Amino acid sequence: MGFYSKKILPKLLNSAMADKSLEEFRLKVLAKARGEVLEIGFGSGLNLPFYPRTVTHLTAVDINPGMEKFARQVMADSPVKTDLLVINGEELPFEAASFDTVLSTWTLCSIERIDKALDEIRRVLRPDGQFIFIEHGLSPDASVQKWQRRLNGFQKKLAGNCHLDRPIGTLIENQGFKISELNEFYLEKGPKFLGYFYQGTALPG
């Protein structure tokens, strides 16, 4: 991981992801979290204030050591008991069936081997557990898709391997999850190529 990824990108991500317009979605998705939770792509810990009391413990992972400084500042002010590991979400060092909830917010776009990460999420979920998510990805509109494909290379370089064109729902289903809720919509403000959202719940099957 180079200088840009470790030193510059974390500042950019911390600022971009703190956008107030995202908070209503954090609130809605996080309201479903319960029990032992694993958060994939913890970033700068911006979800922490939104965790409900139904969460007993949080394990958080993020691949980028540059995000850790921001995350630990938020953790210091939070009542949520959190263990943070700087590791790749594609290889989770946890036993099978360890978590009641796995959460991902705007992270599946950037994980290199999304299939491996989804397999790992499914493996570590208890049989009655849930994977809750909000992500951005491939729009169903051809005119938007055209821009998503055009800008994909640039976006990946600028934003830490962030893909604009991943069909999130399909990718989750392809790894054996049963989707119990899926809402797809455009964010009201901002460019459509970046603002087609997938919010939902998937069960390990």
> Number of helices and strands (H, E) in the chain?
7, 7
Site string for ligand SAM, 36-75 (x = CB under 6 A): ----xx-x--xx-------------xxxx--x--------
- For ligand SAM, which is the closer residue by CB, 89 or 204? 89
The single residue listed with the structure tokens 């390990």 is 204
Nearest approach in angstroms of CB 198 to ligand SAM is 14
- Using CB atoms, what's the residue nearest to ligand SAM? 43
| DSSP string for residues in 5-45 | IIIIHHHHHHHHHT-GGGHHHHHHHHTT--EEEEEES-TT-
Nearest approach in angstroms of CB 150 to ligand SAM is 21
Nearest approach in angstroms of CB 197 to ligand SAM is 12
| b/e per residue 50-69 (b: at least 16 CB within 10 A) | bbeeebeebbbbbbbebbbe
**Interface positions with ligand SAM (CB under 6 A):** 13, 17, 40-41, 43, 46-47, 61-64, 67, 88-90, 105-107, 110-111, 160
